[in-house]
């Protein structure tokens, strides 16, 4: 027997128009508020309201895209706080990206199972947290722990929420734009001062941030811009990505970071290895190589003195760090306690390297601070991630996008031999974003396969 349900017309009207009424009310309130702010010339508030509206319409692109854009500018977003740890605007943008991405994933049912590599990164962070129990200086370990947890949480969020191809393309573009903008600004300030600072970086209050960290923050934008040249179908887009490749490479060279220069060479090598010799590859290589013509004399002097300066004292630091493994190679000295382990073995080097120095090498840092188990987790996380990259196909336009992320990851690993970037946002974001690139590639392949049989 069939039965019918008679609905109250008032209830039907209410359900049908409730969302429309809310939208109209929100529009009226927003328009009125904007009118008042414009009349009062509160332009900062106007920009904030437009930002919130854009965040409401395009939450993933705005939240993660803004985070990606600001990574090269991190040292310029410092919020002075003489009474506590230095905070940056990027930290709060990262929290915004975390909650917005999680919220979108939950509301739109886009939460997915994280990849296998996320398990090893999680074990790595967990072991780092456990190591605070026996750390040489527990206060130092606990001070570093919130940063480590924050980077891991944002990583897990980014790899556990399905990002659409359109959203991902905007995040990638904003990553390139952030690197290009920071590069142009740093190069402009360098020539404005006549090269008085010696090496390019960005201002951090009244001082200069570390040029090595700035160079590392430009590796992902450089690799993505390089890939954009190869994946562009029109000459206008190709020209824009070529310009981005040129200015970012120019800024990296001006940092005169030897580790970053080796990383750039490795990025180029990965493109050549994966895509073979192709005429498109010559364009970004030539543009990046041309930047070397405009390097100041100091650049070539730094390259020549690498061996005579014992890698700016790094060899002595590494020698002492290796000696400290006698005591800390099994369980580790504890999170962020390499300087303390270093100080206990500082007399084992022929040359005085200073007191409580950082390792300038992420692999030595992990070995000393986390011991054998921590190094194993790091190795497995990196190995499983790099093995997940699919091999390029004959379609160079599609393959070059994924190769750009693989090359950036290799660049980070190589840069890690000379710069301690383990807890830098640029390092973790490269791994998180490349997981999204692999997921979108698999979705595209599934669509192509289903289309071929339909």
- Residue holding tokens 């190094």? 375
H helix or E strand, kind and range, residue 210: none
Which of 232-241, 288-297, 304-313 is predicted with the least confidence, judged by mean pLDDT?
304-313
Residue 195 has pLDDT above 80, yes or no: no
**Can you read off the two tokens belonging to residue 420?**
């301690």
Residues 188 and 206: their CA atoms lie apart, in Å, by: 18
Instruction: Report CA-CA distances (Å) from 70 to 48, 334, 391.
Output: 17, 31, 31
Q: Residues of the chain with pLDDT > 70: what percent?
A: 74
- List, for residues 395-436, the tens digit of each pLDDT value: 666 678 899 999 999 999 999 998 899 999 999 999 999 999
335, 148 contact by CB (below 8 A): yes
Q: Which pLDDT score, from 0 to 100, does residue 101 have?
A: 92
The residue among 46 and 313 whose pLDDT is bigger is 313
Instruction: Compute the mean pLDDT over every residue in the chain, rounded to the nearest whole number.
Output: 81
pLDDT tier at 136, thresholds 50, 70, 90: very high
Query: Any alpha helices (H) in 292-361, and if so which ranges?
Result: 297-304, 314-328, 338-344
**Can you read off the two tokens belonging to residue 65?**
């895209």
Burial class (CB in 10 A: 0-12, 13-18, 19+), 78: middle
Q: Residue 346 CB: number of other CB atoms within 10 A?
A: 19
Instruction: Please state the domain extents for the chain.
Output: 26-57, 58-453
pLDDT tier at 178, thresholds 50, 70, 90: very high
Say if strands 207-208 and 203-204 run parallel, antiparallel, or are unpaired. antiparallel
Residues 254 and 247: their CA atoms lie apart, in Å, by: 11
Average pLDDT over residues 170-184: 93
Q: Which of 429, 445, 390 is nearest to 74 (CA)?
A: 429
Average pLDDT over residues 333-355: 76
Residues 69 and 412: their CA atoms lie apart, in Å, by: 18
Instruction: Report CA-CA distances (Å) from 210 to 95, 281, 451.
Output: 24, 31, 51
pLDDT tier at 42, thresholds 50, 70, 90: low
pLDDT tier at 83, thresholds 50, 70, 90: very low
Residues 263 and 384: their CA atoms lie apart, in Å, by: 21
Q: Considering the entire predicted model, what is its pTM? A: 0.84
Residues 23 and 17: their CA atoms lie apart, in Å, by: 10
Residues 337 and 377: their CA atoms lie apart, in Å, by: 18
Residues 422 and 415: their CA atoms lie apart, in Å, by: 10
Crossing angle (nearest 10°) for helices 138-160 and 425-453: 20
Q: Which pLDDT score, from 0 to 100, does residue 307 have?
A: 58
Question: Phi and psi (nearest 5°) for 87?
Answer: -110, 150
Torsion 39-40-43-48 (CA) sign: negative
Residue 197 has pLDDT above 80, yes or no: no
Residue 312 has pLDDT above 70, yes or no: no
Q: Which pLDDT score, from 0 to 100, does residue 348 have?
A: 61
Say if strands 78-79 and 87-88 run parallel, antiparallel, or are unpaired. antiparallel
- Residue holding tokens 């605007």? 89
Dihedral in degrees, nearest 10, Cα atoms 433, 436, 438, 442? -170
Average pLDDT over residues 105-125: 93
**Can you read off the two tokens belonging to residue 218?**
């430009």
Which of 56-60, 379-383, 448-452 is predicted with the least confidence, judged by mean pLDDT?
448-452
Q: Which pLDDT score, from 0 to 100, does residue 125 have?
A: 96
Average pLDDT over residues 387-397: 76
The residue among 207 and 35 whose pLDDT is bigger is 35
Tallying the residues shown for the chain, one arrives at 454
């Amino acid at each position: 027997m069939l039965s019918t349900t008679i609905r109250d017309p008032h209830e039907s009207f209410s359900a049908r128009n409730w969302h429309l009424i809310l939208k109209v009310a929100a529009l009226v309130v927003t328009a009125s508020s904007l009118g008042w702010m414009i009349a009062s010339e509160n332009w900062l508030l106007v920009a904030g309201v437009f930002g919130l509206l854009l965040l409401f319409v395009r939450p993933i692109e705005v939240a993660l895209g803004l985070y990606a854009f600001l990574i090269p500018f991190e040292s310029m977003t410092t919020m002075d706080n003489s009474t506590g740890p230095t905070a940056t605007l990027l930290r709060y943008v990262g929290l915004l990206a975390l909650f917005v991405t999680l919220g979108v994933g939950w509301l739109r049912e886009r939460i997915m199972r994280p990849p296998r590599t996320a398990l090893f990164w999680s074990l790595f962070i967990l072991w780092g947290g456990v190591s605070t129990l026996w750390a040489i200086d527990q206060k130092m370990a606990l001070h570093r722990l919130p940063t480590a947890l924050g980077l891991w949480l944002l990583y897990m969020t980014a790899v556990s929420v399905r990002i659409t191809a359109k959203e991902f393309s905007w995040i990638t573009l904003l990553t390139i734009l952030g690197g290009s903008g920071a590069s142009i600004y740093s190069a402009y300030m360098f020539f404005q001062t006549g090269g008085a600072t010696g090496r390019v970086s960005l201002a951090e209050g009244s001082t200069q941030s570390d040029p090595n960290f700035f160079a590392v923050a430009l590796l992902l934008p450089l690799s993505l811009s390089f890939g954009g040249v190869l994946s562009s179908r029109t000459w206008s887009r190709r020209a824009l990505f070529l310009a981005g490749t040129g200015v970012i490479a120019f800024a990296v060279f001006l940092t005169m970071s030897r580790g970053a220069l080796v990383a750039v060479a490795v990025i180029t090598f990965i493109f050549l290895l994966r895509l073979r010799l192709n005429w498109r590859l010559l364009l970004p290589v030539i543009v990046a190589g041309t930047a070397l013509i405009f390097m100041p004399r100091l650049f070539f002097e730094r390259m020549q003195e690498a061996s005579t300066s014992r890698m700016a004292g790094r060899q002595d630091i590494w020698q002492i760090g290796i000696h400290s493994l006698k005591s800390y190679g099994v369980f580790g000295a504890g999170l962020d306690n390499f300087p303390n382990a270093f100080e206990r073995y500082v007399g084992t080097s022929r040359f005085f390297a200073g007191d409580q120095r950082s390792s300038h090498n992420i692999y030595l840092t992990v070995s000393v601070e986390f011991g054998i188990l921590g190094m194993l987790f790091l190795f497995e996380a990196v190995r499983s991630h790099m093995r997940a990259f699919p091999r390029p196909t004959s379609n160079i336009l599609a393959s070059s996008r994924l190769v750009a992320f693989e090359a950036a990851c290799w660049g980070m690993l190589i840069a890690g031999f000379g710069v301690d970037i383990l807890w830098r946002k640029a390092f973790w974001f490269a791994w998180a974003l490349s997981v999204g690139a692999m997921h979108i590639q698999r979705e595209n392949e599934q669509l192509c396969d289903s289309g071929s049989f339909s």
